[in-house]
């Protein structure tokens, strides 16, 4: 069996999935990885006439087989596994020990509770590896659009030149920073470290506390960067300190647009402030509104 790393790409044949597939293929080629394309249709009813479902499943299998990257030299495997989508994606990720999951998002906006639907939310929360989510605008209706190969719909590759890394100085964010640096080396990109000053909440009343002292936070950020630069000398690293005002996620997305950055790499389950909500409302809003792909990295050893 090949020892090449595996990139897992769950697909529902949608436009966001097509964009994510293109990114997955580009990553597979640059990293010498294998590409595992997974489609999870609804499970069969307990009582069903197999003669009636055989043809639809065969059609799905054929459609899945057409999902192949345009870039040459990428090994591709296809899996059709009925069941609960989130559960099957997570099970496949653990079973294959994949290096990363690359999936599309619907890019929902407004006050909706779900991010990219419950499937991607569950994957981001529980994945045993980094997860890359890519959002695109709603697809433009067109004849037979759903029946084209994903590679035929893929846009041109966008080079990664600037990577934004939001941090709260926690271990999950430290791991995300290591991922950001590895990607920066591979793509000859710069890393922009962002700390968002979020007023802490006081329990049990959850009343807002006085705004944090930005001078103290800047000193902490600069000290962290000083230590980082001692070990990271082969890539450019810049730092930004921002006041969240009323919303850390909006601040992160705003900075991502102003830089502009090509990728956001963020840790999950951080400690306080920004980190306390990194897989709550902050990360959900970033994943929903980011102008570029987002990589989420969970701390090692977490359930």
Give the domain 162-297 fold.
Rossmann fold (3.40.50)
Where residue 153 falls among pLDDT bands split at 50, 70, 90?
very low
Q: How confident is the model at residue 112, as a pLDDT? A: 34
* Average pLDDT taken over every residue of the chain: 77
Per-residue pLDDT of 12-23, as tens digits, reads: 998 888 889 998
Task: Indicate whether 189 pLDDT > 80.
Answer: yes
Q: What percent of the chain has pLDDT over 70?
A: 70
User: 6-137 architecture in CATH?
Assistant: 3-Layer(aba) Sandwich (3.40)
Q: How confident is the model at residue 2, as a pLDDT? A: 63
- Determine the average pLDDT of the residues in 112-139: 71
Any idea where the domains of the chain sit in the sequence? 6-137, 162-297
Question: DSSP string covering the chain, please?
Answer: ---S-EEEEE--SSHHHHHHHHHHHHHHHHHT-EEEEEE-PPPPPSS--HHHHHHHHHHHHHHHHT---SSTT--EEEEE--S-HHHHHHHHHHHHT-SEEEEEE----TT-S-SSHHHHHHHHHH-SS-EEEEE-PPPPP-TTGGGS-HHHHPPPPPP--EEEEE--SSHHHHHHHHHHHHHHHHHT-EEEEEEEE-PPEETTTTEEPPPP-HHHHHHHHHHHHHHHHHH--SS-EEEEEEE-TT-HHHHHHHHHHHTT-SEEEEESS-SSTTGGGTTTHHHHHHHHH-SS-EEEEPPTT--
209 or 109: which carries more pLDDT confidence? 209
- Whether 162-297 and 6-137 are alike in CATH topology: the answer is yes
Task: Indicate whether 294 pLDDT > 60.
Answer: yes
> What is this structure's pTM?
0.78
Q: What percent of the chain has pLDDT over 90?
A: 30
237 or 152: which carries more pLDDT confidence? 237
Where residue 206 falls among pLDDT bands split at 50, 70, 90?
low
């Amino acid at each position: 069996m090949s020892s090449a790393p595996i990139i897992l790409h769950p697909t529902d044949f949608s436009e966001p999935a097509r964009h994510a597939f293109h990114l997955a293929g580009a990553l597979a080629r640059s990293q010498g990885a294998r590409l595992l394309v997974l489609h999870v249709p609804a499970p069969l009813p307990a009582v069903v006439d197999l003669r009636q479902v055989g043809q639809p499943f065969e059609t799905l299998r054929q459609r899945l087989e057409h999902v192949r990257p345009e870039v040459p030299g990428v090994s591709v495997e296809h899996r059709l596994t009925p069941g609960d989508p989130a559960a099957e994606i997570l099970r496949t990720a653990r079973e294959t020990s994949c290096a990363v999951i690359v999936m599309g998002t619907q890019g929902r906006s407004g006050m909706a509770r779900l991010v990219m639907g419950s499937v991607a939310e569950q994957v981001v929360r529980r994945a045993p590896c980094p997860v890359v989510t890519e959002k695109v605008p709603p697809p433009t209706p067109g004849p037979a659009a759903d029946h084209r190969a994903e590679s035929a719909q893929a846009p041109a590759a966008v080079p990664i030149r600037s990577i934004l890394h939001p941090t709260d100085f926690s271990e999950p964010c430290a791991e995300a920073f290591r991922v950001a640096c590895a990607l920066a080396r591979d793509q000859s990109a710069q890393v922009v470290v962002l700390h968002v000053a979020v007023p802490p909440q006081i329990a049990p009343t959850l009343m807002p506390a006085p705004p944090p002292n930005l001078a103290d936070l800047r000193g902490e950020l600069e000290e962290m960067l000083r230590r980082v630069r001692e070990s990271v000398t082969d890539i450019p690293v810049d730092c930004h300190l921002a006041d969240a005002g009323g919303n850390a996620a909006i601040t992160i997305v705003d900075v991502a647009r102003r830089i502009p950055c090509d990728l956001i790499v963020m840790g999950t389950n951080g400690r306080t402030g920004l980190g306390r909500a990194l897989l709550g409302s902050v990360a959900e809003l970033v994943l929903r509104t980011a102008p570029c792909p987002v990589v989420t990295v969970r701390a090692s050893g977490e359930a």
